[in-house]
A and B are shown apart, each in its own frame.
Chain A
C-alpha cells in the first residue's frame, strides 16, 4: 500500500488556467512536472518515520493493522465518494445513511430475522443512493443541497426507527470482527476489495472515463455523446451500496445500532478524498490518491494516540494537515502552470 505507485498517466497535474496562458508557456511546458502524488507519499513516509522514532509501538505489526482497521469503514465509503467527486458531485448523506442501514438491520433482526435485516439494510442503502441520484440528475438540484437534505432526513428517520435507543444485534459480529487471514480483520479486506474495484472502474472502463469527462466539463461531455445523468445516477446508487456495507460493518463491530452511529463520516470521507488530490469541482482525483489520504489520516490519528496526545489536539492536527496538504497542492499546481 505504501510503495510509490506508477502515476505517469493516471492523472494530469495542471488545472486549466482561468486566463489564457501567457505566450511562450508552451515551450516552457516541456520541462518536467512535479509528480502528482509525490507530496502525499512524502508526507506519509515522513509521518511514519516520525512516529516510528517517537514510539517503540508504532512499527509493531498489530499496530499497523490497527491503522488499517481504523480507516476501513471510511475507506469503504471514500471509494465511491472519489468516483462521485471526479464527476463534480458530493454525497454528504453517507454518515446518516450508514446509521439508517444499521438501524434497519438491527430492528428487522430483532423483529423478524437476521437475513431479512441484512437484505433490507442493503436495499435501504441502494434506495437512498438512488434517491440522491434521482433528485440530483433528474430534478436537477445540486448534489450538495440534495445530500444535506437527505443527511438530515435519514439521521431523523434513524432516530424514529430506533426510538432514540441503542438496538442490539445478536449473532452478527463476524462481518466486523472476524480475522480470516494473517490475523487481519475482515473490514480491512473489504476496504481493500472495494478500493481495487473502484480503482479498476475508474482507470480501465469507459464508464470511469465518462465520469472524469463529466466533472471536467459537463457541457463538453454532453456534446461528445456522454450520458451524463445516467452515469451520475449509477454512481450515487453504487455509493448507496457501499454505504450499506459500511453501515453493516459498523453495526457488526459494536454489536448494535445506535442513532448517532457514523456521525461525521461524510467529513472524514471528503477529507481523505481531497487530501488525496481530488478537485472539489471535478475532473481530477484518483483512488490511489484517496488511499494515500486515508493512510495519512490513519497514521496521524494512531501516532497521536501512541504519543498520548489528547483527542482535542488530534482534531487540530487533522484539520491543519488537510489545509496544509491542499495548500501544498495549490502551490504545486501554480508552480506547474507558471513555468
Chain B
C-alpha cells in the first residue's frame, strides 16, 4: 500500500537515516522497534509528510511520488497518533474527536452530530467517558484513547501509532489491540512503534528493528525471538527479563500507610516500605496507584488513616515537608511536572539541593556543574558531556535519568516513582532500574506506582495490586508474574 525505499535524512549535516526501507501493507501490522535515537520517529514523520527525505522514494499503491507533503500523506489516508498528546485540552471530548472536521452545515456546527459521532466511536473503543467533559479533566491514558478515536473516525488507511501503550494500563492496551485487530481486518495498514517486546507477538505480523538509522532486523513477528529483538535493538547482548535477586534482606520500616484513605481516590490502603526494598503499586488507570504515590509525597491529603515515617506519624502539607522528611518524587508526566524545560541539565539536577549546595543563599554554576559531574557516570546519561546543555534537548530516557539524579544528589532516603519508564527506551530503562537497585542496596527504599506489568515483574520485590482505589492482591518475590498481576488488576 505504502512503500519507502532507501530513505536518507540528515539534520544539520548529520545523517540520521542511512537508506531505510519500509513497507506498510494492507491488512497487516508492522511493529517498529528501536531505542530512542534509532531513527523510528524520523522515519514515521517522513511517512506522515512532516519531514522531507533527502533521498529515496515514496510510493503509494505502486505509484511513485516526487514530493511528499503532509497534505499528500493525509490524502493517502496516513494518520498518526503521536507519542505526546496533540489534543486541545479545554475542548470537550466530542470536539476533540471531531477536531478539524466538525460536522457542519453552511458553516454552522451541528453539535448533535458531533456528539453522536463521539458516542459511536467511544462505544467502539469501549471508553466510558462523557463526550461533554473537557479533555483536560481526563487522565493521560484516556486522552490518548480519545486521540485514537479521532484517527479511527477519520477512516485511516495507514495508521501510525507512536508508542500508544506507553500511557495505557494493561486493560486499555488490550482494548487498543483488539481495535488494531479490527482495523487490520478492515484492510488498514498499521505501523506500531513500541518499546514493549511482548507487543511484537501480541499484535504484530512483521517486525522491523532500527538501530542508528539502519534496519538491523526484519522478520515475521512469530519467528523473532525475544533475545534476537533485544540484541538487535541494543546492539549488544542484554540481560533478559529475569528478575534480579534481592541483594539484601529488607531492613527496618522507613515508611508506612495505615488504612489510608483519600476521598474519591483510594480507600483503606495499608503498605509498608522497608529499607532495601522496591515495592510496586500496580494498577490500571483510575485504580488509585498514582493517588497513593502522591499522598506519600504530600500532594494529596489523607482523610482517613495515617502515614508514618520510621514509626512516627507524619503529616505532610506539601512537597516541601515531604522533601524535608527525606522523600523524593519522580512524577508521571516528565514534561509537565518534572523538567525545568529551558534550563540546563546541571540546574535540573541540582534544583532540590540548591539550599545545600549554596552557601548563605549564594550559588554559582560551577557548584551545579560539579554536582552534575558526580552523577553523570552513575546515571549513564548519554549526552554530550556539557552540564549547560538544556534538558529539553535530551531524549526522554536521558531526561528521566537527570530527574532521578536530583534525588541522588540530595541523598534522599525514600523515592516515590510514578510511571518511571513511560516512553523510555529499553537501554535507558535498564539503566534506571540498575541505578534504583543500587540505591536500595545502600539501604534506601523505593515505591513505584505503575501501570506497566513488565516493569513490576522486572523491578519489584513486592507488589500491591490495586483496583478501584483498593488493594486487591499482594504478591511477593517470585510470585510476581505477568499473569497474576493482570488477573488481579481485573484486566
Contact = CB atoms under 8 A, between A and B. Distances in A.
A245 B259 CA distance: 58
B18 to A, nearest CB: 10
B290 to A, nearest CB: 14
A209 B355 CA distance: 11
A221 B340 contact: yes
B341 A24 contact: no
A227 interface: yes
Pick from B344, B347, B351, B406 the residue with the most CB of A within 10 Å. B351
Interface of A: 8-9, 12-17, 19-31, 203-207, 209-210, 212-213, 216-217, 219-227, 279, 283-284, 337-339
Contacts of A21: 392-393, 395
Nearest to B84: A20
Contact of B384 (A19, A30, A210): A30
Given A20-B82, A212-B347, 8 more contacts: A12-B390, A23-B34, A24-B42, A204-B362, A206-B358, A209-B351, A219-B337, A221-B351
Main secondary structure of the interface of A (DSSP, over half): loop
B382 A26 contact: yes
Interface of B: 9, 11-14, 16-17, 34, 36-43, 45, 51, 82-84, 86, 213, 297, 318-320, 323-324, 329, 331, 335-344, 347, 351-352, 354-355, 358, 361-365, 369, 382-384, 387-390, 392-396, 406
Contact of A213 (B37, B45, B351, B392): B351
14 contacts: A9-B365, A9-B388, A23-B34, A23-B40, A24-B11, A27-B37, A203-B364, A205-B362, A213-B347, A217-B338, A219-B336, A220-B339, A223-B331, A224-B352
Given A22-B42, A27-B16, A279-B342, A13 B362 contact: no
Contacts of B324: 225
Contact of A220 (B41, B320, B337, B383): B337
A203 B358 CA distance: 12
A314 B86 CA distance: 43
A29 B14 CA distance: 9
B12 A28 contact: yes
B406 A224 contact: yes
Contact of B388 (A12, A204, A209, A339): A12
Contacts of B393: 14, 21, 25-26, 29, 337
A218 to B, nearest CB: 10
Contact of A223 (B16, B329, B363): B329
A223 B337 contact: yes
A210 B384 CA distance: 25
Contact of A24 (B16, B323, B338, B394): B16
Contacts of A283: 340-343
B354 A209 contact: yes
A15 B351 contact: no
B339 A217 contact: yes
A223 B365 CA distance: 22
B16 A204 contact: no
Nearest to B337: A219
Contacts of A224: 319, 323, 351-352, 406
Query: Nearest 3 CB-CB pairs, A to B?
Result: A339-B12, A24-B16, A16-B392
A339 B51 CA distance: 13
B388 A8 contact: yes
Contacts of A12: 342-344, 388-390
Nearest to B356: A206
B472 to A, nearest CB: 29
B383 to A, nearest CB: 7
B366 to A, nearest CB: 9
Contact of B84 (A19, A25, A209, A338): A19
A323 B389 CA distance: 28
Contacts of A223: 297, 319, 329, 331, 337-338
Nearest to A27: B14
Contacts of A27: 14, 16, 37
Given A14-B393, A15-B342, A28-B12, A206 B355 contact: yes
A22 B51 contact: yes
Nearest to B329: A223
Given A204-B363, A223-B319, A216 B16 contact: no
Contacts of A213: 340, 343, 347, 351
Contacts of A203: 364
B141 to A, nearest CB: 18
A135 B347 CA distance: 30
Contacts of B341: 15-16, 216-217, 283
A210 B364 CA distance: 13
A52 B213 CA distance: 53
Contacts of B51: 22
Contact of A23 (B39, B338, B394): B39
Given A216-B341, A222-B319, A24 B39 contact: yes
A205 B361 CA distance: 5
B343 A216 contact: yes
